[in-house]
Structure 1
Amino acid sequence: MNPPAPNRRLLRWTVRLSLVLVLAYALYLIAGNLFLNTSLGHSAVNRKPEKFQMQWASGSTWWPGRVSLSEVKLRGHVRHTQWSIQAARASGRIGLLALLRREVHVPYVWVTDVTGAVDRTDAEQPAPAPGEGGWTLRFDRITSDSVRRGSFGTLSLEGKGSAEFAFVKQLRGGPMQVLSSTAKFTDARLTQEGQEWLRDGKLDLRFAIARHIRAQAQGLQKLRLSDIELDLQGTTAAMAVALDANGQGSFKTVPGQGQAKARLKFSRGALAPGSQLRWQMPLLSTDPKGAIHTDHVQLALQVDRDMMLTAYMPPQAGGAFGLDADLRIAGNQVPLKDFGSLLPRTSGHVAGQWRFSSLRWLGRFFTKAPWLTLDGAGDVAADVQVANGKVAAGSTFSVPQVAVVAEVMSNRIEGSGRAEGRFDAGANGGLLPTLNIVLSRFHVAANDNLSAPYVQGSDLHLDVAAGEDLALLRDSLRAHLTFKGARIPDLRVYNRYLPSQHLRFDGGSGVLSGDLHLDAKGDIGRGWIRLAGRKARMRVAGIALRGDIGIDTRLRRADLVNRNFAVDGSAIALDNISFSEPGGETRSGWWARIDLPRARMDWNKPLSVGGNASVKMKDVGFLLSLFSRRKEYPKWVFKLVDAGQAQVQGRVQWQRDTLVLDRIDASNDRFDLQARLRLRGQNRHGSLYAKWGMLSVGVQADGAQNQFHLLRAKQWYDAQPQLLP
């Protein structure tokens, strides 16, 4: 019995439809699998390999929209960031209907044995210009329970991981959004270039990034739109510190049993209250003698309305390294670009010590003095109070060993010693910084002859202080320089400052002491310098002298621009002096005391001095020798030499190669002597008047020729012009 006609027609259409569906499915299987397993698929996906590449070994699709790939490799380049992902297998579903609205919608992707890497590169891949009509990529769920490794630059994280990731991105510069995503690791191991920082770790990460376009946030600025929760705990490595015989320290990680624990919640640029971090790391230090010491480094962060940070490292490696910090940072906002902006929000206390390869920064920070440089490798021990990011009163620091260079009045002082500084409270609420430097040894050389130091000494003190306004530190700086008994091996070094034609040292040694107050530019404001020469050999106006000399120079600045000083109160002492008259006999045991109650000095080279002089001398023999040889005088004149001490008054001017003595009045109760003399190079010019009882004589010196006036000598002398105004 045949079925009714309608039933036969339905059966035929059913068979036909089934054949069409079977054929369509067969065509899909053939086309889809050919696409996935030939170059067609690779060519279609990798249209812009410089920006994105995707490779796979094989693939299959058994249902429209469902795809499975093996040995998947993805690689991309965005701006200065290169990324790559590898997976043993990936399978997922694509929403085909969404393609009609220009959207690649992937409801889920499942991947296995995943590794990934992110690196920064100098080569830049320009971002596409924003445009309309870009396709939208929507991945609702990318999951894996076998994440093996991830790296960022040299930092690598390995372990047993799982992750779930979701995002939406519109191409052609459109907005992107990271939906709620998670990552978890157990048995985690964190390394950097082979050094282990964490092991046996547990990590639980949740994160999301709000919808935005690139112009709204780039790089780290994306954190302003991010919500992140991190739970982390694990065993950390230990830190090893070694100090060699030269004082240089090295750091490296070694296996250890430290502990790290963090629970941080970050939301749109701020750490949420309740966030905390604790890190304890064993510390092994080796001192220069090879002895090993064991301690711990501790770091803790607590977040409430403010952020509290504490760090502690006991002194290590012979005291070269150590830290004890307790700081409060106002607010819980985290700067994403300028981390220095945390300083104005920071208050608390930092103490510790550290070894620096160069201490040059210390001088620039503390003194800002162009004439004072601190340098050399050394340790700095500091105890610093911080208020709103600034050093506060009560802060101190010390440097046990530092190299110092000071430029003072065209001379360079170099040495090594120690330095101590502190900040005290000023009367107006500011700070009064002081720096005390003690050089255990030093030497001094002229700036134009640095290879030949002429002073060598020890125990030099340089005390530096400034006003309350740190912005004006360079201008308000003042210094006090003191030293005693510095050795001068050869007094002839001073001849470069002297008019050597008629005043110079021929030998001898001495010691130098000083007490000088310096201004902000390193120039002398006031003070004194004392030179003591022993067995000094000198030549004055052609006369050779030998003996002890003491020069006490009192300085008070009169004209800084021209380096002129008032030297009122300066004095010169000559003792045990022997000298030979030109062509005459040698005298010994002579002495003189020269006081300059009012005088001025020009510091420039050569030195210039002018003013009034008061001299007390054993006898006037030296004055007589300045004018003529003994045999040329009347015989009675040199009886003045045996007539006892003389008190001398007069004026003196020494300028470049000219030495002028004027209005010289030497007398006692037995004789009178007056003189004036100008020495310029080899030229000698002057006049002398001597009186003993009823006898008198006048002497006119003019070069190598002397003329004697025995009649009316006083009238002749009074008629001679004065040499100084």
Structure 2
Amino acid sequence: MDLNFVARAWQRVPQTAQIWIRRIGFALACVYGVYLVAGNVFLNTPLGEWTANRKPEKFQIAWGRGITLWPGRVQVWDVLIKGHAARATWSVNAERASGRIALLPLLRKTVRVPEILAYEVTGAVDIGGPHKPPMPARPGGWVLQFDRIHSDSIRSGRLGELVLDGVGRADVGFFKQLRGGALELMPSLAHFENARLRYGKEAVLRDGRIDAEFAIARHTRDQARGIAKLMLTDARLKLDGKAPTLRIDVDPQGRIVLGNVAGNGRAQIDLGFARGSLTPGSRLRWHTPVTGRDGRGAQFSDALDIALDVDRDTHLVARAPAQAEGRLSLDADITVRGTQVPLKEVRSLLPRSSGHVVGRWHFASLRWLGNFFHAPWLSLDGAGVVDADVRVVDGRVAGGSRVGVPDVQAVAHVMGNRISGRARADGRLDTGPNDEVLPHLELRMEQFDIAGDDAPARPFVRGKDLLLRLESVTGVDRQALRQPGAMKQVGQAMRAHLTFADAQVPDLRAYNRYLPNDHLRFDGGAGTLSGDLTLDGAGAIGHGTLGVDARAARMHLAGIALRTDVDIDTKLRRADLRRHTFNIDGTRMALRNVSFTEPGGESRSGWWTRIDLQRARMDWDRPVSIDGQAQIAMKDVGFLLALFSRQRDYPKWMDKLIGAGQAQANGKVRLAGQTLLLNDVNADNQRYDVLARLRLHGKQRNGSLYAKWGVLSCAVAVDNGRRDFHLIKAREWYDAQPALMR
């Protein structure tokens, strides 16, 4: 510029104008000076932060030092911004930031920032803090409009335990009206090079390239709250980087420990999201090497591949070939109808899903497997490996599916008894005549215990090789299981078959919890228990057999102590489920090698008896009660006579009656509570007849007996400790006695 020309031009300006120009210039210089002082004082004293942090519970900003050289332009260092919205807290740090504020919009209560440049930026978001509900919307709120927030030096970001490190840049813009007004996230983008993504201490991605685009349409809080904001969101994510190697170590118990180590996997993602749906053309490819040791200590290496493709539908494929026992294997091919993402209810994805999943995996709990077979009395629990071959049609597991569990803790509750042990479970799903799914389960326990439901820690039976087969007769609607009377429906829809043989009973006294101890109990000995039972879906016995076998068992029967071999074969056929009663026609009980001491002290040995219940009912509730008609074969009538009196009190000729050999008898037997009733007992052979009726109640003993040997006869009445013999007209006396009351 020619200064001489400027000087000559200034001289041609009128004197008055020169004066006003000088005055205006001086005024502007004064105003600028005041601005410099006031603006920089504002930025570098607590006044600035106090002005900005009027709502510290929701928003706070702090900086180290700042400078402004022109109205509306500010530069600050060591910036920290924090905020709290609902249950999320967030923070942003920047070493330096500069920006421009449009001044005229301030007159319209609008803070418009055309541009902010930030340097060396880090950020973090934590979700799950205390909930701070927003204030009710009110009119008149200021508007915050940031057209462009730009940074070429983003260093890291964190969302909970998910951390992203690298070299990034971003352009973000947003609009927000305070006091509950509208919010908009303008079309924004971010880019990262040399990105590393980790979750906690485990690496998820390294040497990655990430590109993201995102925007949220303008809306108010009442129009979209929480996750519903995603229905107004458009986004796209592109990612390409190295995935880590997945390490799987299996201990000898089959438990799996997972971890990540550096590897040469590959992650490639190109996903678009538009207002609640994945956009056609989206795709994902994830290749992860798999290495580790199996349950035998052998080292293996393999790979897991995941592919996702979106067109009109969403197609997911995941594969991990199986080579080593006891580790992950997977072959899944699932198609989801449509592209909608289930934002509010994840379960809504199931009815849209169909496909096939084959795999092996270790579950921390297998309780879900027992629930799957609709058997509330059967539970499968504990950790274990599951081999699955599952077909899915419209979100439902379809016929032809199979599942196997090599080792699981199983517990079955059957009529007051708890059967438990480690088991192998194999299940399958068949298709019924109406296309319903019918579950079948085979459960085999190599070793098992049986205890009472009220004393699960004290098992009284220990056995091997128990087999339980559970099958559906008709389909069961899962929703119907929650309705009143559901157990009746389950009972009709399912049936089970339980078998085991020669399970050890270390102490036969364990059975006394089921027996009326005053008149029938075990005093010692060991034996075995066998069972072949058909159950309904509610775990109640339908029919079957229970067998008890013991040698040299000590028993107490009708007040007489004896030692005997016991063989009981109980035939069960349910009569009334609600009352727990069974028809036990055909039940047999054999006592062999019986030795006992009669009330007078005389000892007997080598005695035996066989009892066949021709028509009988049993009440399962403890103590067990039996009521029926019995056919009895016995070596002699010595034990029957001993129930009434000492041998030396009988006439001498009755010794010959005892020695007259085997007898056949029949009569009515009732065993209930403290009462044992023998009624209308008739024992005879070709040489004698014996009739008897006896009622034992607690320590009380009442009854009458008649015995006939040729022309000789005798009757005896028992009334507790008193006995009355009748040798004349013994039969007439016996017939005149009243029937015993139950």
> TM-score if structure 1 supplies the norm length?
0.93
In the alignment, the residues of structure 1 paired with residue 701 and residue 51 of structure 2 have an alpha-carbon distance, to the nearest angstrom, of 107
User: In the TM superposition, what is the alpha-carbon distance from 1:277 to its structure 2 partner?
Assistant: 0.8
In the alignment, the residues of structure 1 paired with residue 162 and residue 407 of structure 2 have an alpha-carbon distance, to the nearest angstrom, of 38
1:546-695 → structure 2 map (5 Å cutoff): 546-583=563-600, 585-695=602-712
Deviations 1:21-62 (A, max 9, x none): 444444444444444344443343333333333333443334
Structure 1 stretch displaced more, 168-177 or 42-51: 42-51
Matched, 1:147 2:154: yes
Question: What is residue 415 of structure 1 aligned with on the other side?
Answer: 421
**Among residues 166, 169, 172, which one is paired with 2:176 in the alignment?**
169
1:517-528 → structure 2 map (5 Å cutoff): 517-528=534-545
Q: Secondary structure at the match of 2:290?
A: strand
Q: Is residue 248–residue 327 contact of structure 2 (8 Å, CA) maintained in 1?
A: no
Question: What is residue 412 of structure 2 aligned with on the other side?
Answer: 406
Q: Secondary structure at the match of 1:582?
A: coil
Q: Secondary structure at the match of 1:214?
A: coil
In the alignment, the residues of structure 1 paired with residue 161 and residue 208 of structure 2 have an alpha-carbon distance, to the nearest angstrom, of 19
Q: Count residues with an aligned counterpart.
A: 724
Structure 1 stretch displaced more, 350-359 or 494-503: 494-503
In the alignment, the residues of structure 2 paired with residue 159 and residue 696 of structure 1 have an alpha-carbon distance, to the nearest angstrom, of 112
Matched, 1:352 2:366: no
Q: Give the AA of the match of 1:563.
A: H
**Among residues 55, 58, 61, which one is paired with 1:54 in the alignment?**
61
Question: What is residue 436 of structure 2 aligned with on the other side?
Answer: 430
Question: What is residue 374 of structure 1 aligned with on the other side?
Answer: 380
In structure 2, the CA distance between the partners of 1:689 and 1:25, relative to structure 1 (3 Å rule), is closer
Matched, 1:383 2:416: no
User: In the TM superposition, what is the alpha-carbon distance from 1:288 to its structure 2 partner?
Assistant: 4.4
Deviations 1:410-451 (A, max 9, x none): 222222222222221122221212222222112222344444
Deviations 1:152-187 (A, max 9, x none): 222222222121122222222221212221111111
Q: Is residue 490–residue 538 contact of structure 2 (8 Å, CA) maintained in 1?
A: no
User: In the TM superposition, what is the alpha-carbon distance from 1:387 to its structure 2 partner?
Assistant: 1.8
Deviations 1:370-425 (A, max 9, x none): x3332233222222222222222122212222222223222222222222222211
In the alignment, the residues of structure 1 paired with residue 584 and residue 383 of structure 2 have an alpha-carbon distance, to the nearest angstrom, of 41
Question: What is residue 190 of structure 1 aligned with on the other side?
Answer: 197
User: In the TM superposition, what is the alpha-carbon distance from 1:15 to its structure 2 partner?
Assistant: 4.4
Structure 1 stretch displaced more, 178-187 or 502-511: 502-511
Question: What is residue 343 of structure 1 aligned with on the other side?
Answer: 350
Question: What is residue 484 of structure 2 aligned with on the other side?
Answer: none
Q: Is residue 707–residue 714 contact of structure 2 (8 Å, CA) maintained in 1?
A: yes
In structure 2, the CA distance between the partners of 1:525 and 1:126, relative to structure 1 (3 Å rule), is closer
Q: Secondary structure at the match of 2:57?
A: coil
In the alignment, the residues of structure 1 paired with residue 56 and residue 521 of structure 2 have an alpha-carbon distance, to the nearest angstrom, of 85
Q: Secondary structure at the match of 1:470?
A: coil
Structure 1 stretch displaced more, 3-12 or 58-67: 3-12
Q: Is residue 242–residue 317 contact of structure 1 (8 Å, CA) maintained in 2?
A: no
Q: Is residue 241–residue 317 contact of structure 1 (8 Å, CA) maintained in 2?
A: no
In the alignment, the residues of structure 2 paired with residue 413 and residue 121 of structure 1 have an alpha-carbon distance, to the nearest angstrom, of 44
> TM-score if structure 2 supplies the norm length?
0.91
In the alignment, the residues of structure 2 paired with residue 213 and residue 462 of structure 1 have an alpha-carbon distance, to the nearest angstrom, of 60
Deviations 1:551-592 (A, max 9, x none): 111122223333222211111112222334333643433322
In structure 2, the CA distance between the partners of 1:540 and 1:35, relative to structure 1 (3 Å rule), is closer
Q: Is residue 255–residue 384 contact of structure 2 (8 Å, CA) maintained in 1?
A: no
In the alignment, the residues of structure 2 paired with residue 425 and residue 11 of structure 1 have an alpha-carbon distance, to the nearest angstrom, of 104
1:2-81 → structure 2 map (5 Å cutoff): 7-81=14-88
In structure 2, the CA distance between the partners of 1:305 and 1:537, relative to structure 1 (3 Å rule), is same
In structure 2, the CA distance between the partners of 1:21 and 1:483, relative to structure 1 (3 Å rule), is same
In structure 2, the CA distance between the partners of 1:158 and 1:494, relative to structure 1 (3 Å rule), is closer
In structure 2, the CA distance between the partners of 1:492 and 1:299, relative to structure 1 (3 Å rule), is same
Structure 1 stretch displaced more, 646-655 or 583-592: 583-592
Deviations 1:197-239 (A, max 9, x none): 1111111111111111122223332221111111110111222
Q: CA RMSD for the aligned pairs? A: 2.7
Task: Provide structure 2 residue ranges, at least 5 long, that are not aligned to the other structure.
Answer: 1-7, 482-486
Deviations 1:352-373 (A, max 9, x none): 222233333432343351x333
In the alignment, the residues of structure 1 paired with residue 108 and residue 85 of structure 2 have an alpha-carbon distance, to the nearest angstrom, of 26
In structure 2, the CA distance between the partners of 1:534 and 1:174, relative to structure 1 (3 Å rule), is same
In the alignment, the residues of structure 2 paired with residue 92 and residue 3 of structure 1 have an alpha-carbon distance, to the nearest angstrom, of 38
Q: Give the AA of the match of 2:139.
A: E
Q: Give the AA of the match of 2:147.
A: D
In the alignment, the residues of structure 2 paired with residue 493 and residue 6 of structure 1 have an alpha-carbon distance, to the nearest angstrom, of 126
Matched, 1:218 2:207: no
Question: What is residue 332 of structure 1 aligned with on the other side?
Answer: 339
Matched, 1:254 2:268: no
Question: What is residue 711 of structure 1 aligned with on the other side?
Answer: 728
In the alignment, the residues of structure 2 paired with residue 77 and residue 490 of structure 1 have an alpha-carbon distance, to the nearest angstrom, of 68
Structure 1 stretch displaced more, 186-195 or 243-252: 243-252
User: In the TM superposition, what is the alpha-carbon distance from 1:240 to its structure 2 partner?
Assistant: 1.6
Q: Is residue 285–residue 316 contact of structure 1 (8 Å, CA) maintained in 2?
A: no
Matched, 1:486 2:503: yes
Q: Is residue 256–residue 282 contact of structure 1 (8 Å, CA) maintained in 2?
A: yes
1:260-275 → structure 2 map (5 Å cutoff): 260-275=267-282
Task: Provide structure 1 residue ranges, at least 5 long, that are not aligned to the other structure.
Answer: none
Matched, 1:505 2:512: no
Q: Secondary structure at the match of 1:42?
A: helix
Structure 1 stretch displaced more, 556-565 or 582-591: 582-591
In structure 2, the CA distance between the partners of 1:184 and 1:547, relative to structure 1 (3 Å rule), is same
Q: Give the AA of the match of 2:215.
A: A
Q: Give the AA of the match of 2:176.
A: K
Q: Give the AA of the match of 2:142.
A: W
Q: Give the AA of the match of 1:555.
A: L
Q: Is residue 367–residue 380 contact of structure 2 (8 Å, CA) maintained in 1?
A: yes
Q: Secondary structure at the match of 2:739?
A: coil
In the alignment, the residues of structure 1 paired with residue 179 and residue 556 of structure 2 have an alpha-carbon distance, to the nearest angstrom, of 93
Q: Is residue 193–residue 209 contact of structure 2 (8 Å, CA) maintained in 1?
A: yes
Question: What is residue 239 of structure 2 aligned with on the other side?
Answer: 232
Q: Is residue 431–residue 470 contact of structure 1 (8 Å, CA) maintained in 2?
A: no
Q: Give the AA of the match of 2:446.
A: S
In the alignment, the residues of structure 1 paired with residue 389 and residue 196 of structure 2 have an alpha-carbon distance, to the nearest angstrom, of 37
Q: Give the AA of the match of 2:179.
A: R
In the alignment, the residues of structure 2 paired with residue 2 and residue 438 of structure 1 have an alpha-carbon distance, to the nearest angstrom, of 112
Q: Give the AA of the match of 1:400.
A: P
Q: Is residue 542–residue 582 contact of structure 1 (8 Å, CA) maintained in 2?
A: no
Question: What is residue 122 of structure 1 aligned with on the other side?
Answer: 129
In structure 2, the CA distance between the partners of 1:544 and 1:105, relative to structure 1 (3 Å rule), is closer
